[in-house]
């Protein structure tokens, strides 16, 4: 086994290291999110207050993607990835204080650090693939992106499960300590193993270049903003709180269910190329078609929840499975298209800008998830989700009709 790994081409070895880093980070990120939601709900926080704990996480994600893309092009993606891993260790360590000292501002600061870390790590991983796949090999690029994105989300789901189980087994602080130690070991290996010139631009880009000049990237970024707002407006805070407070589910049950959903979502993402690229490489038409399908699916789920045609538990379980499968295909298509559209030199600039829009979407969705659920319930969150997806569908008509632009 070790002999086979040693004989692999350097590009494959670097891809495996990047993927391993991304996996380890994602596992802790998913677990941390579940830990924070459930732990602070137990402490008596309202849904809106819980959402506010993630406010800086999302705000700093917006800033990080803009600046991080520029840093990646200037310093190299190995450095931005390792900085992300290091900051996540710091963020976890900040939550090891006694419960009385975990004030809202302190937790928000820790979440801000985690948000910076997450988006540095993700931007670096997605950008690195573009540098490792030969130019023009679009089918290979799509498969590599789909596998990275799908495996990441499967592990994010495993992180949800891990967070729920660790909270029940060793408590909040014990869970945080275990994750910080594991990530420290990954960080040390990454510093030693990643190449220094990965993704580094031939000429140092100016800071003013952080905003994309590509119409394709700008349009896809706008579609991505509303796509992820539509997911997070009901998934981030509203759904886990609804399952715990209205349906009476235990923490481990909430964590297990959401973990299974995200794992299945990640598996579908990994197989998206087999579903969407049988005859030709996906383009704007493909993205528009699947955005339309997701809009219909979410609208039907919102209608069912509003009218009470099915018991809430049945409607949510069935609806989430269908929503998750179709959303996974949309997300995988977008992840491929942005890597395809991004410029060859300093690829992280375009990808950083795109994931800035992604972070803005998560920010909007997270805040609305807590506020709308608290004021009007889960059905209202689903209605807003459907409206946002309709906007994604309309914007997608402007995408290029070819895979690369």
Tokens of 199: 């993704």
Which pLDDT tens digit goes with each residue over 306-356?
887 878 788 888 888 899 899 999 998 988 888 888 765 556 677 778 878
How far from 133 is each of 11, 108, 127, 157, 296, CA to CA, in Å? 8, 38, 11, 28, 35
Nearest to 382 by CA among 301, 290, 261: 301
The mean predicted confidence, pLDDT, of the chain is 80
Q: Give the pLDDT confidence score for residue 152 in this predicted structure.
A: 73
Q: What mean pLDDT comes out for the span 356-360?
A: 85
C-alpha closest to that of 124 among 343, 339, 270, 403:
339
Over the stretch 167-226, which tens digit does the pLDDT of each residue have? 888 888 898 999 999 999 989 988 887 765 555 555 555 555 555 567 888 899 999 999
- pTM of the full structure: 0.74
Residues 221-241 pLDDT 10s:
999 999 999 999 988 788 888
Cα 335 from Cα 292, distance rounded (Å): 18
pLDDT of amino acid 262: 79
Classify residue 95 by its DSSP letter: T
CATH topology for 10-197+209-396 is Growth Hormone; Chain: A; (1.20.1250)
pLDDT tens, position by position, 51-91: 777 777 778 877 777 776 667 666 677 788 888 889 999 99
Query: Who contacts 109 (Cβ-Cβ below 8 Å, separation ≥6)?
Result: 56, 94
Q: What angle do CA 378, 383, 384 make, to 5 degrees?
A: 100
pLDDT at position 405, please?
Answer: 42
Backbone angles phi, psi at 197, to 5 degrees: -100, 10
pLDDT in tens, 148-171: 777 777 777 788 778 878 888 888
pLDDT for residue 151: 76
For residue 54, what pLDDT is reported? Answer: 76
pLDDT at 283 over 50: yes
Lowest mean pLDDT segment, chosen from 22-36, 287-301, 339-353: 339-353
The pair of structure tokens assigned to 298 is 């979410």
Residue 300 has pLDDT above 90, yes or no: yes
Q: Using the Cα atoms of residue 164, residue 122, residue 270 and residue 363 in order, give the sign of their dihedral.
A: positive
């Amino acid at each position: 086994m070790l002999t086979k790994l040693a004989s692999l081409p350097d590009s494959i070895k670097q891809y495996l290291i990047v993927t391993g880093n991304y996996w380890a980070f994602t596992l802790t990120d998913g677990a941390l999110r579940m830990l924070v939601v459930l732990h602070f709900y137990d402490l008596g926080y309202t849904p809106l207050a819980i959402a506010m704990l993630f406010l800086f996480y999302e705000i700093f994600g917006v800033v990080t993607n803009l600046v991080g893309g520029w840093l990646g092009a200037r310093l190299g993606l190995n450095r931005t990835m390792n900085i992300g891993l290091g900051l996540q260790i710091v963020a976890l360590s900040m939550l090891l204080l006694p419960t009385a000292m975990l004030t809202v501002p302190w937790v928000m600061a820790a979440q801000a650090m985690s948000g910076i870390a997450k988006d540095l790590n993700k931007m670096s991983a997605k950008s690195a693939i573009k540098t490792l796949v030969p130019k023009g090999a679009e089918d290979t690029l799509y498969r590599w992106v789909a596998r990275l994105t799908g495996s990441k989300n499967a592990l994010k789901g495993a992180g949800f499960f891990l967070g729920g189980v660790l909270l029940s087994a060793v408590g909040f602080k014990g869970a945080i300590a275990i994750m910080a130690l594991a990530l420290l070991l990954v960080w040390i290996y990454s510093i030693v193993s990643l190449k220094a010139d990965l993704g580094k631009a031939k000429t140092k880009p100016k800071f003013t270049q952080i905003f994309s000049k590509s119409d394709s990237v700008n349009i896809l970024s706008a579609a991505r903003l509303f796509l992820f707002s539509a997911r997070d407006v009901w998934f981030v805070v509203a759904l886990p709180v609804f399952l715990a407070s209205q349906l009476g589910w235990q923490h481990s049950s909430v964590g297990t269910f959401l973990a299974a959903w995200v794992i299945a979502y990640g598996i579908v993402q990994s197989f998206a190329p087999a579903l969407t690229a049988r005859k030709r490489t996906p383009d704007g038409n493909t993205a528009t078609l699947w955005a339309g399908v997701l809009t219909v699916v979410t609208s039907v789920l919102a209608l069912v929840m509003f009218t009470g045609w099915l018991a809430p538990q049945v409607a949510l379980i069935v609806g989430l499975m269908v929503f998750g499968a179709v959303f996974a295909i949309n997300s995988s298509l977008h992840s491929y298209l942005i890597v395809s559209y991004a410029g060859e030199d300093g690829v992280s600039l375009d990808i950083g800008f795109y994931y800035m829009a992604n972070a803005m979407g998560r920010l909007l969705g997270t805040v609305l998830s807590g506020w709308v659920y608290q004021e009007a319930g889960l059905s209202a969150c689903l209605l807003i989700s459907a409206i946002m997806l309709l906007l994604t569908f309309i914007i997608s008509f402007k995408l290029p009709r070819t895979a690369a632009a």
